[in-house]
Structure 1
Amino acid sequence: MTASTLADNTHLAPSIPIAEASTAASPASSIHAKKPFKEAKQIEAIQGLRDLLGPGNDKFDDAELMRFIVARSYDLVGAKAQLLGSLEWRKTNKVDDLPIPGHNNSNGVMYAVRGWHSVPDANIEAGHLNVPEHAVRLQKYMGGSALHKWDKTGRPIYIERMGQHNVKGLAKNVTTAELVDYHIRCTEFVHNTIMPECEERFGSDNKIIDKETVIFDCSGMGFHQLHMEGLNMLRSLTDMDQKAYPERLGKLFIVNSPSLFVKVFSMVKKWLDPGVIEKIHILGKNFESVLLEHVDAENLPSFLGGSCTCSHMPGGCVPSVILNNIKPVERKPTPPPASSPLAAAANGSGGNLLAVPRYLRPRSSSSASAMSIQDHVMPGRPKEGIYQMVSSITQDQACEYEIVVSDDDVKDAEPEVMCMFRIKNVRDPCDGLNFTVARFEFGEMTDGQIIVPTSFHAIQDAPATGFEVKFRAKQAGLYVLLWKPENQRGLVQLEYGVTVDGLLSEPTDC
């Protein structure tokens, strides 16, 4: 899924030279030369961002800069911070080294592809070059997906049979790291192979194609899909898209949506920026006429109201193992090089392309958290099981983070949840500044049940080793961590991490 971005705190942007950074997507030369933005506001914003970026800003085309500008609602300092953050994420995780399918190589596709010149029509196949084992394994649990032709504007169409997903099977048999790895490979393929072709076939001097149209078919959706860990995996993908791939969604059509979807969407909606929500169209059962307003019939699968069947390909337009219109893909692993971060993720050795802790994420209902995309995960593996992160919040901003305790975590026991805080940096003049270390509440409880009491600590009294806060998770759910400065005497930069592991031998006094 592609989504617009959350805003971030500019002072946490990674300091990397523009000249050494690669762009978040490698645009075609034709795109780089285009000047499609004619409004005075757009022109001024693009030039303003270039001025902020300084020498080397010509590495970015206007379209790329505008995506970050729009994602940050024309906050240019914030746009710069998010752009640099996405570049650092790509560099740290070697995203630009991913082997993606293209017209000049034999790399296998990650999902069904229909109608493009760059890559012949194909389905994912085990044993094809650079198709990792986990990409094959997860096909058994996905309802089916395909990059299927283009809409009337020339944007590529991604179709997913969301209602057919075996969510519990996916969560049980595919790790979040593997799903994220798969998602990144698919996203990079669309941005770096398909969209340049769209530009060549359908673009013009005044028209840039850098977004995609998405159709989610909810046929078959039921209560069996309301699985917490599966939803957490989806949350990981949307969080990453919002941070690393802003403004890549054109329109999202959700069709055949049952009443159950209202419940699911009420949760998912909290994760999304209002700009993304405006692009989502929930159509229910009577969707054909709306889709045909945006997609020519010959480019729309017949099960969605079009005339296309892709009868020349096994599985038709959108192959689905679960719907039995194609045989299961056999598992013949072709692992990535051992030195790749992707290999670590695939082998379960601790690597994670998303580079965020499994258990901690900004809470969408917290305005300060929404402004904190640049909570930056320090590169490298977690130390002593705790990921090192950095956050900075000004006075009167309470930043909240969700701590995920899954069904599996509490299956056999009540696990220990440990949070660690350490002062990373204090910006002047912070003498005597106090801050809230931690406050926990369970889920969305209206009575505000406090599991770990709020406590205040003066900066000058903070131990070098930091603070540890522990509590026993009696049931699965989302726990909420909150911290904020007590007054407005500068900024506090805080490292923090969360781990959910082990058992408490006895209750811990906090």
Structure 2
Amino acid sequence: MSSPAATNSGSSTHSKHPYKEPKQIEGLKNFRALLGPDNEKFDDGELMRFLVARSYDLPGAKAQLLASLEWRKANNVDDLPIPGPNNSNGVMYGVRGWHSVPDANIEAGHPNVPEHAMRLQNYMGGSCLHKWDKAGRPIYIERMGQHNVKGLAKHVTTPELVDYHIRCTEFVHNTIMPECEERFGSEDKVIDKETVIFDCTGMGFHQLHMDGLNMLRSLTDMDQKAYPERLGKLFIVNSPYVFVKVYSMIKKWLDPGVIEKIHILGKDYKNILLDHIDPENLPDFLGGECTCSHMPGGCVPSVIMKNIKPVEKAAPANNLLAVPTYLRPRSSSAASASSIMDYVMPGKPKDGIFQMFSAMAHDKECEYEIVVADEDVEHEPEVVIKFRVKGIRAACTGLNFTVARFEFGEKADHGTIVVPTKFYSLSECPESGDGIEVKFRAKAAGLYVLSWKPESQRGLVQMEYGVTVDGILGEGDADSM
């Protein structure tokens, strides 16, 4: 994420693209002053994305920037093997039209292609990073209307989908966008965003699957918090009535700045796309002239549409997630998107408790995910959950918490691991001390869900919350989280 150093704290010069508006120059100057000596780690383009995402709220931009850096460090994002001109790493989806990576489809056996990346291709409608628009931005096309949402939710876990999405995103930002800069950039044109086309052809009510929508929310939450201002435009074409219903839910998850970039189109979309994309760079099924006939699957390969064969399983040696064991707020939780700090664990732990959650409203479940990887369960590690009230932010007539349940991934339909449940009154959750503690043994790999909610009808509460996994993230390693 770090970029070439700026020349000084008052600089307004991106390496190739100086910002000229007075608001931009002043915003960058003040942002660098707020960051202190650390400002030299970032170029203007990177800082500007966080400034714009937070509407020039300097403390908010700083909090989001630092949280994203902590997230990258905790999840080893910068160490991920991505395709590039100087390696043989396999692509995660179809790629067409680039110099830095030859035209290719995702295939088993290619270096550093995880098994879950192969598996999910059988449930996705098809996707491709397909050439560029008139502004020089890379175009990502996804046949959203062809997704087998139920199959995806059943056979691919949220951590696997998140891992796949991170790898794809890092590939675009670190391999493709630098090529766009070299080929199409100029002093007055920075290329750090992508154009996205979602084709809803075939979409129906059968795709209204809550687990699948929760997976989508997990991705949108991550993109907005860790990758702000990377979207140029999103065109949603062939959108049927059912999409209006879906979008009414999705819209609640999105920042206003993201919503402004979304263009929902019906079947009369071709001229609009051609206003932004040259016909030779737009697939013919979207109104352009390109067929990519030299590649299996054409412009957008799709197992479900049967223009390519089902993908084979990759060797299990490549099946490690980018974040094999971690803790985070669950995207399906109604309260989990209240602040940027919900997504990462800021700072060092205090008394073994290192996760802050805020703004827990009445009757809204708060859920956290604990992912335990295959290689971590040989000795059935002990998971210790600790939580305590940090402070009341409004009057409460009475507040109870309950540790509701744990369940894991693909086995959730076949059984639930029940932890003894007890209600704790406010007086039993002190603001200091060891807090409340619950333990269990992780006897299988997968996704565990911790869920609770306050019972008060009034007021908001802050909680400190922590987890240690014996042999994985013990107290001695907690500050790495």
- TM-score relative to the length of structure 2: 0.76
1:356 aligns with 2:324: no
* Offset, 1:322: 0.6
* Partner secondary structure for residue 356 of structure 1: strand
Counterpart position of 1:50: 32
Counterpart position of 2:212: 230
Within 2, Cα distance between the matches of 1:26 and 1:157?
Answer: 26
* Offset, 1:41: 1.3
Within 1, Cα distance between the matches of 2:424 and 2:332?
Answer: 19
Whether the 8 Å CA contact 2:297–2:307 is kept in 1: the answer is yes
Classify 1:173/1:388 alpha carbon distance in 2 versus 1 (closer, same or farther; 3 Å): farther
Structure 1 runs not aligned, ≥5 long:
1-21, 337-341, 381-386, 406-418, 441-451, 469-478, 498-510
Choose which of 110, 123, 132 in structure 2 pairs with 1:141.
123
* Offset, 1:222: 1.2
* Partner secondary structure for residue 214 of structure 1: strand
Classify 1:206/1:454 alpha carbon distance in 2 versus 1 (closer, same or farther; 3 Å): farther
* Offset, 1:267: 1.2
Letter in 1 for 2:53: A
Within 2, Cα distance between the matches of 1:165 and 1:404?
Answer: 27
* Partner secondary structure for residue 130 of structure 2: strand
* Offset, 1:285: 1.0
Classify 1:27/1:56 alpha carbon distance in 2 versus 1 (closer, same or farther; 3 Å): closer
Within 2, Cα distance between the matches of 1:359 and 1:188?
Answer: 21
Classify 1:79/1:114 alpha carbon distance in 2 versus 1 (closer, same or farther; 3 Å): same
Letter in 2 for 1:236: S
Counterpart position of 1:465: 435
* Offset, 1:462: 6.7
* Partner secondary structure for residue 289 of structure 1: helix
Whether the 8 Å CA contact 1:144–1:319 is kept in 2: the answer is yes
Counterpart position of 1:71: 53
Whether the 8 Å CA contact 2:100–2:175 is kept in 1: the answer is yes
* Offset, 1:437: 4.9
Classify 1:361/1:326 alpha carbon distance in 2 versus 1 (closer, same or farther; 3 Å): same
Whether the 8 Å CA contact 1:375–1:390 is kept in 2: the answer is no
Counterpart position of 1:390: 355
Counterpart position of 2:80: 98
For residues 96-129 of structure 1, the C-alpha deviation after alignment (integer angstroms, 9 at most, x for no partner) is 1111111111111110000111111111111011
CA RMSD of aligned residues (A): 4.1
Structure 2 runs not aligned, ≥5 long:
8-12, 370-383, 404-421, 439-450, 468-481
1:171 aligns with 2:153: yes
Whether the 8 Å CA contact 2:6–2:41 is kept in 1: the answer is no
Within 2, Cα distance between the matches of 1:50 and 1:484?
Answer: 43
Whether the 8 Å CA contact 1:131–1:335 is kept in 2: the answer is no
Letter in 2 for 1:370: S
* Partner secondary structure for residue 284 of structure 1: coil
- Sequence identity percentage: 62
Matches within 5 A, 1:155-170: 155-170=137-152
Counterpart position of 1:34: 16
Within 1, Cα distance between the matches of 2:133 and 2:234?
Answer: 12
* Partner secondary structure for residue 54 of structure 1: helix
Whether the 8 Å CA contact 2:386–2:436 is kept in 1: the answer is yes
Letter in 2 for 1:351: P
Letter in 2 for 1:224: H
Whether the 8 Å CA contact 1:28–1:196 is kept in 2: the answer is no
* Offset, 1:226: 1.1
* Offset, 1:40: 1.3
* Offset, 1:275: 1.2
Counterpart position of 2:294: 312
- TM-score relative to the length of structure 1: 0.72
For residues 455-508 of structure 1, the C-alpha deviation after alignment (integer angstroms, 9 at most, x for no partner) is 64487577633288xxxxxxxxxx9835999999xx9552268xxxxxxxxxxx
Within 2, Cα distance between the matches of 1:379 and 1:130?
Answer: 32
Counterpart position of 2:338: 370
Classify 1:467/1:69 alpha carbon distance in 2 versus 1 (closer, same or farther; 3 Å): same
Matches within 5 A, 1:322-471: 322-333=304-315, 335-336=317-318, 343=320, 345=321, 351-352=324-325, 355-358=327-330, 361=333, 363=335, 369-374=337-342, 376-377=344-345, 390-391=355-356, 393=358, 402-403=366-367, 422-423=387-388, 436-438=399-401, 456-457=426-427, 464-466=434-436
Q: How many residues align?
A: 420
Whether the 8 Å CA contact 1:256–1:283 is kept in 2: the answer is yes
Letter in 2 for 1:149: K
Greater CA deviation, 237-246 or 31-40? 31-40
* Partner secondary structure for residue 179 of structure 2: helix
Within 2, Cα distance between the matches of 1:492 and 1:255?
Answer: 42
